[in-house]
């Protein structure tokens, strides 16, 4: 498999999950600003959408969209329980989390990373995002991870997205559960390995 990623972007989530899964893969930088691969290839010729993550399988098939990619990876190693079994209630709860993180949190950060976005719009986005993170903080009370005591692919996604707060001046100090959770997830060997591979940790 090949994972196309941009350092620190949402593609860090499947990068973490691939390390958790212990699968063989090649990680290829596809910077979101230049869209040029290390060998000079235009990334648009590989993924016409031009964004990451993008996964190519050994047989040539491809997947885009992080929530789909991480579930695919999890299902290759079912014994690790990175995702509950398909068809189970718990799998739908996992998908509930992946959707909330993707639509309410991930996209909630977008206005703050958009050049020339009016400050008023950024302030509104920050307020909405803060309210969503407050709810997530409450959901983490008494839990090790989003789904309970076991790490799942949703945790990789939340860890990555919530980490963007420091880049946009969003204060998480009021969210003790979320901060403790981020510390737990950030200490996992797979998370450390993926972050080092992307140059995010020394």
pTM score of the predicted model:
0.96
Treating both helix axes as pointing N-terminal to C-terminal, what angle do 66-76 and 12-21 enclose, rounded to 10 degrees? 0
Domains in the chain and their CATH numbers?
2-80+190-197 (3.40.30.10), 89-188 (1.20.1050.10)
Across residues 150-179, what is the average pLDDT?
97
The full DSSP string for 28-78 is: EE--TTT-B-TTS-BGGGT-TT--S-EEE-TTS-EEESHHHHHHHHHHHSG
Residue-wise pLDDT tens digits, 167-197: 999 999 999 999 999 999 999 999 999 999 9
Q: What are phi and psi of 45, to 5 degrees?
A: -75, -15
* Helix/strand/coil for 26: strand
Query: Could you give the percent of the chain with pLDDT greater than 90?
Result: 97
């Amino acid at each position: 498999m090949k994972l196309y990623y941009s350092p620190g972007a949402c593609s860090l989530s499947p990068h973490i999950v691939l390390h958790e899964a212990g699968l063989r893969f090649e990680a290829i930088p596809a910077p979101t600003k230049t869209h040029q691969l290390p060998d000079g290839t235009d990334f648009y010729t590989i993924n016409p959408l031009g964004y990451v993550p993008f996964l190519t399988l050994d047989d040539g098939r491809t997947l885009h969209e992080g929530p789909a990619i991480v579930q695919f990876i999890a299902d290759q190693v079912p014994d690790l329980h990175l995702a509950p079994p398909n068809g189970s209630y718990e799998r739908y709860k996992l998908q509930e989390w992946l959707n909330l993180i993707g639509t309410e949190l991930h996209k909630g950060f977008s206005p703050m990373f958009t050049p020339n976005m009016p400050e008023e719009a950024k302030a509104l986005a920050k307020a909405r995002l803060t309210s969503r993170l407050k709810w997530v903080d409450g959901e983490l009370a008494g839990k090790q991870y989003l789904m309970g005591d076991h790490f799942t692919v949703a945790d990789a996604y939340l860890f990555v997205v919530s980490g963007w707060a420091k880049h946009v001046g969003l204060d998480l100090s009021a969210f003790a559960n979320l901060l403790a959770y981020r510390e737990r997830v950030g200490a996992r060997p797979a998370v450390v390995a993926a972050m080092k591979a992307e140059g995010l940790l020394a």
